[in-house]
């Protein structure tokens, strides 16, 4: 069985799906790893490092994909990559499936088997395959680093002969993996940190990493969906939430927002009038910018100034830490693949909760239960 690792073609993407350290376990399972020349350059990995680990270096993506039984990628295939995936190939990557329905249909038409790593179930057995958590932790860390660089003041309290500097105040909205890492990072930098989440159950986690948990007067009994994710709420809920949040964001120096709903546009939590109430020089880092953002006026991929507040809309935080992001991604994706490798070949056990949960396209059909209704509505529109 041959597994191919192509160079990522998405603009600005520096991660690579597999690092040399993961090759030994694949080779032991009877898998031959083929790597496109230069695939690891963005993560500072030379071709020689792959070759030394036992991979075969292939010049050019066309030859690479023509030889592959399975293809491991970070981002979904684009452009010429799609047409070069041969029938029967298995593709494993972050598919961004809710927003790439047309691509799923294309891949189904080419009879490519597709696994979306964002759908790996959050169960104990799959923790080492959880790409979303690995990448979210990096995003939370980088969010605070970006904020510290833009904020025109120190994060920590300093007592000097020239006077005392009070610590920065940081407010984190959303206490998932990214939010908890943002809290911990801001705390390590010396800030006073507060956090809010619609799920009351995360209060203990927030406090365990050093933040004060902020509670608003809202009905949150059903705020948590399956898998531990925050559940989408009504427009009235978000309206009341914004009213109570305005006073809080006006009192802090940095806000990090992480509220994202799988398959949905991100809810707007910080409105223009809330921005006007913030101190000039304040910073908002919006980790939901790729899906419309939690902040009114955010621009995906850019930093904009609105009412004297810097709003950071970067969407590539894991890529900005490509070395460690690739290391973690590689462990996740190789463990996922090895779960299906039996006697040197891929075996799709559709009774396996992990395999079934992540399988999007199989035998020429889109098969995922969360995606099929979206295709039906699209066809009926």
Residue 163, φ and ψ in degrees, nearest 5: 130, 175
* The one catalytic residue among 98, 133, 242, 320: 133
| Termini Cα distance of the chain | 42
**CATH superfamily, domain at 136-315:** NAD(P)-binding Rossmann-like Domain (3.40.50.720)
Q: Residue 232's pLDDT is what? A: 62
Q: Residue 157's pLDDT is what? A: 94
* The one catalytic residue among 7, 122, 153, 320: 122
DSSP for 30-52 reads: TPEEEEETTTTGGGT--HHHHHH
Q: Note if 272 is an active site residue.
A: no
* The one catalytic residue among 22, 130, 196, 327: 130
Can you list the positions of beta strands (E) in the chain? 2-5, 32-36, 56-58, 70-72, 90-93, 113-116, 158-160, 163-165, 169-173, 192-196, 212-213, 254-257, 283-286, 303-306, 309-312, 341-342, 345-346, 359-362, 365-366
Taking the domain 2-119+322-380, which CATH number applies? Answer: 3.40.50.720
Q: Note if 229 is an active site residue.
A: yes
User: Which of left, alpha, beta for 288 (phi over 0: left; psi -120 to 50: alpha)?
Assistant: alpha
Contact 32, 1 (CB under 8 A): yes
Per domain, the residue ranges of the chain are 2-119+322-380, 136-315
Q: Note if 127 is an active site residue.
A: yes
* The one catalytic residue among 27, 229, 242, 352: 229
Q: Residue 243's pLDDT is what? A: 81
Q: Consecutive 10-residue runs of the chain (381 residues): their mean pLDDT?
A: 97 97 97 98 98 97 96 95 95 96 95 97 96 97 98 95 95 96 98 93 94 81 53 70 86 96 90 95 97 96 97 97 98 98 93 97 95 78 51
């Amino acid at each position: 069985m041959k597994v191919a690792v192509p160079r990522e073609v998405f603009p600005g993407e520096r991660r690579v799906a597999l690092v040399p350290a993961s090759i030994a376990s694949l080779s032991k399972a009877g898998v031959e790893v083929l790597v496109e020349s230069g695939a690891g350059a963005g993560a500072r990995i030379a071709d020689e490092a792959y070759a030394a680990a036992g991979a075969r270096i292939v010049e050019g993506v066309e030859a690479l994909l023509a030889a592959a039984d399975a293809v491991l990628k970070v981002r979904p295939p684009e452009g010429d990559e799609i047409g070069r995936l041969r029938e029967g190939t298995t593709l494993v990557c972050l598919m961004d499936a809710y927003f790439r329905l047309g691509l799923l249909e294309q891949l189904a038409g080419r009879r490519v088997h597709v696994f979306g790593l964002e759908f790996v179930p959050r169960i104990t057995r799959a923790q080492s395959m959880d790409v979303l958590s690995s990448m979210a932790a990096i995003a939370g860390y980088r969010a605070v680093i970006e904020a510290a660089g833009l904020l025109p003041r120190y994060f920590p309290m300093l007592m000097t002969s020239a006077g005392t500097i009070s610590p920065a105040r940081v407010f984190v909205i959303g206490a998932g993996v990214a939010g908890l890492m943002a809290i911990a990072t801001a705390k390590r930098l010396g800030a006073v940190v507060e956090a809010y989440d619609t799920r009351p159950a995360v209060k203990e986690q927030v406090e365990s990493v050093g933040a004060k948990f902020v509670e608003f007067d809202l009905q949150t009994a059903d705020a948590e969906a399956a898998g531990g994710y925050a559940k989408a709420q009504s427009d009235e809920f978000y309206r009341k939430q914004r009213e109570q949040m305005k006073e809080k964001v006006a009192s802090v120096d940095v806000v990090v927002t992480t509220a994202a709903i799988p398959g949905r546009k991100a809810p707007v939590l910080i409105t223009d009038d809330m921005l006007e109430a913030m101190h000039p020089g304040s910073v908002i880092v919006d980790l939901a910018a790729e899906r419309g953002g939690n902040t009114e006026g955010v621009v995906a991929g850019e930093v904009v100034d609105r009412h004297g507040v810097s709003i950071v809309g970067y969407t590539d935080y894991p890529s900005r830490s490509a070395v460690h992001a690739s290391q973690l991604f590689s462990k996740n994706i190789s463990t996922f693949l090895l779960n299906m490798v039996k006697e040197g070949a891929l075996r799709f056990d559709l009774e396996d909760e992990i395999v079934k949960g992540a399988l999007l396209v199989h035998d020429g059909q889109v098969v995922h239960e969360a995606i099929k209704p979206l295709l039906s509505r699209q066809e009926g529109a």
